[in-house]
Structures are given as structure tokens and as C-alpha cells.
Amino acid sequence: MAPTIKVGDTIPDGTFSYVAYTPELDSHTACGVPTKLNINKEWKGKKVVVFAVPGAFTPTCHVNHLPPYIAKYDEFKAKGVDVIAVVAANDPFVMSGWGRFEGLKDKILTLSDPNVEWSKALGLTLDLSAAGLGVRTARYALILDDLVVKYVDVEPGREVTVSGAEAVLSKL
């Protein structure tokens, strides 16, 4: 799938639900309260790395995609990245649970795109209906600088290559 969004484009408006990290979530007895994040307001003037996965806790996403971003967090920060966010079609509670399981705390935002509205606007969806999962976010990565796309690529298969932490770091 070729994205409709391309380098040089301004990212379309987007509002995500997410559960912001608070220390109370560390006990795993709290669920948190979803809040809204309007990216066009919150990310204006910032350098942002967004990577998307078809689903939290799924084999490739859970084992091969998110962990390298966690491991290389300091390298992203050293290259001037203000925000790192992972987007998936899961609801905000699942995304928060995944983030807590992985120990993200407030390092990487776990953003919910449950109806893949934002990913559709980018031309970056993946139809997994044959596997019983419906339409999901594709596996992709973006680098945004003041809401302008500086890098975008989508995985051609099930592997993590162009959207992985190493590939994105090399483009910063």
C-alpha cells in the first residue's frame, strides 16, 4: 500500500484518545481515565516520531516493533525528538495496558485510533478482516517537524524494517 500522505505535506488534523501516565497506574489496580490529544495543537513546533502497529500485544508489534523504540529512547531524545508515539487501532485502555506492561511510563505515548480515522486520512490502513481483526492501522512510521512530514514509510510485509527504530533514527 502506498500512503497518500507524503514528505512535505502538513499532517491532517487528528485527535486521539489515550490514558496519560500517572504513578497510580504502576500498581496495576487503576485503569486511568482516557483523555484527548489534539496533535495539531500539542505537536505544533515539535519534532515528533510516530510509529503505528496493527495491534497491541500482537506478536510482531509486541516483540519486534515497540521494544527497540524503548531501548533507543535516549538516542531519539539526543537527536532532538520531543515526542515519540505509537498508534494502533486498539482502545485507549488496551493501549495503556500495553504501555504499562512494557514499562513505558511517560516515555512513549500510546495513542488509540480505534476506527482508524487518522490512519485512513493518511492512506495507511491494513485490512485484516480475513484474520478476524477488521481494518487496522498499517505498520508505518512518520517523522514530523512542526506538523510537516519529513519521513513516511509503510512496511511492505509483516517484518519491521522501514518503520523500526533503527530505520527511523537513521532518517533524523
Q: Which active-site residues does the annotation give?
A: 61
145 contacts 47 by C-beta, under 8 angstroms: yes
According to DSSP, the residues that pair with 151 across neighbouring strands are 143
48 contacts 146 by C-beta, under 8 angstroms: no
Question: Which value, in Å, is the radius of gyration of the alpha carbons in the chain?
Answer: 15
Question: What are phi and psi for residue 51, nearest 5 degrees?
Answer: -130, 145
85 contacts 108 by C-beta, under 8 angstroms: yes
Rounded distance between C-alpha atoms, residue 119 and residue 133, angstroms:
16
70 contacts 108 by C-beta, under 8 angstroms: yes
